[in-house]
Structure 1
Amino acid sequence: MVREGSPAKRAAIGRAALKVFLAEGYARAGVDAIAAEAGVSKRTVYDYYGGKEQLFLSTIAETRAGHEKGFEELLDETLDNPADLEDALFRFGQAFATALSRSEERTAIVRLMIAEAGHFPDLLKDRPTRTALADRLAALHERGLLDVPDPVEAAEFLGLLVTGPIQGRSWYGAVRVGQDEIDHLVRRGVRIFLSAYGK
């Protein structure tokens, strides 16, 4: 039976699991290695998570939840009540694209999720960040600042326009892209988005 146990110990196991899964992938990662990294016994890992599969899924979910919280905060800071829509979209895109291209953890998690999607297809089903962005774009539509009859589609296009070129040029984080280049590509992406959805 899985138990809740100590929050500090659970957090230590989660951090250790993330490190080992990112380094080794799901198949090669061992519970022994995770337990050693966390400084707990193998039995404790099983007591807290039940098994390797549940530990993997929980670790990915908890890590993504942290990223999603940061994304919501970015939306609050940039798109909640913009005085200048183009500038607000640029600031959103700049921060988002920079974070994606510079965060080794985010890049590694994306690679891990893609690699393991065949065994865990549900990993790629939920897109909470796209939904959150779609909600903001719908609100801007209601205010008459954008024309987005399909906010989910618009959110997908905006995400691709502000991050796609940087992801491509950085080979998904393998090569560093300078901030001036990021800013230039994001600015172009925002202007293309506004040419399609602006009023």
Structure 2
Amino acid sequence: MSHPEAAAATPAQPSPRLRPDKHAAIMAGGRAVFARDGYARASIDAIATASRVSTRTIYKHFADKTALFAAVLINSATQVAAAETALVERHLSTVATAEGVEPALRAFATEWLNDAGDWLIGMPDSAAHRALVAQVRAEAGHLGTEVVSTWWQAGAGRVRVELAEVFARWAERGFLSITDPDRAAVHFSRLVSATPGAPASPITPEERAGWITDGVALFVRGYKP
């Protein structure tokens, strides 16, 4: 079903006629249902029930399930990126010496990751967000490159930019020797999130801390001036 009202709204923004509280409710309900049921099985009826709105309200502001899914993805990515960039600011923005780089990166990575190497485990709805991320990979062809690109820029891409900007400042101050801050941001993320064994293999908090410590040490050593 398609409605002309939906054409005026981008996936990341509510229609001008949709109240902010209704938009927030639909995004939360959509995130819960898509994360639980997956894109293919999720229904507009179930999302309307979870959101405590009518199906008519949803169809009035979102052209179809794909448009709603795209909006939910981008909304969730934006919220998670805001929490992650706040961690970057809290742990990394005040580093004043080269000696402060390694402990700051360890503290940041410790709060950024859970024991299994997943991101922001303590954030509300982080598990649902990770379920949505897995679905993006499965539905990328259906969503289209524009939606996937917008989702990436709103979420993980934004966090990578923030990290790269920190690393560029540190390079300017002589703390690290970095010529490509974007690549350094990828290196750091991969090193600290590395996990032995199969994906989601259980490890203890102590083992996770060890992987973070070793990953940060390798990163600092690799970019040492």
TM-score scaled to structure 2, two decimals? Answer: 0.79
**Are 1:115 and 2:138 matched, yes or no?**
yes
Alpha-carbon distance between aligned partners in 2 of 1:190 and 1:94, rounded to the nearest angstrom: 11
**Structure-2 separation of matches of 1:169 and 1:11:** 39
In the other structure, the counterpart of 1:76 is: 89
Mapping of residues 169-188 of structure 1, within 5 Å: 169=197, 171-172=199-200, 175-188=201-214
In the alignment, what sits opposite 2:185?
155
- 5+ unaligned residues in a row in structure 2: which ranges? 7-14
SS at match of 2:215: helix
| Higher share of residues assigned helix | 1
Q: Could you tell me whether the CA contact under 8 Å between 1:101 and 1:170 is conserved in 2?
A: no
Are 1:85 and 2:101 matched, yes or no? yes
Q: What is the CA distance between 1:86 and its match in structure 2? A: 0.5
CA offsets per residue over residues 140-186 of structure 1, 9 Å max, x none? 11111011100010000000001122xx55724xx553321111100
- Distance in structure 1 (CA, Å) of the matches to 2:20 and 2:188: 38
Q: CA deviation at 1:95?
A: 1.4
For 1:27-48, what per-residue CA distance to the aligned partner results, in whole angstroms no more than 9, with x for missing partners?
2211111112212211101123
Query: Which runs of structure 2 are paired with 1:180-199 in the superposition (5 Å)?
Result: 180-199=206-225
Look up the equivalent residue of 1:161 and give its one-letter code. Answer: L
Q: Provide the TM-score with structure 1 as the length reference.
A: 0.89
Structure 2 residue aligned with 1:7: 20
Give the superposed CA RMSD: 2.0
Q: Deviations over 1:71-108 (max 9, x none)?
A: 11101111102141110011111111226273422431
8 Å Cα contact 1:101-1:176 kept in structure 2: no
Structure 1 residues 52, 22: CA separation in 2 closer, same or farther (over 3 Å shift)? same
SS at match of 1:177: coil
The 4+ residue runs of structure 1 with deviation greater than 6 A are: none
Unaligned runs of 5+ in 1: none
- Which AA in structure 2 matches 1:63? S
- Whether the 8 Å contact between 2:35 and 2:129 is mirrored in structure 1 is no
Q: Tell me which of 45, 53, 58 is aligned to 1:40.
A: 53
Count of residues in correspondence between the two structures: 195
Could you tell me how far 1:118 is from its partner in structure 2? 2.5
- Whether the 8 Å contact between 2:92 and 2:166 is mirrored in structure 1 is yes
Contact map agreement 2:18 2:61 (CA 8 A) in 1: yes
Judge conservation of contact 1:22–1:108 (CA < 8 Å) in 2: yes
Q: 2 CA distance for matches of 1:78 and 1:56?
A: 33
d(CA) in 1 for partners of 2:197, 2:52: 39
1:51-71 Cα shifts (integer Å, max 9, x gaps): 212211111101100111111
Q: Percent sequence identity over matched residues?
A: 30
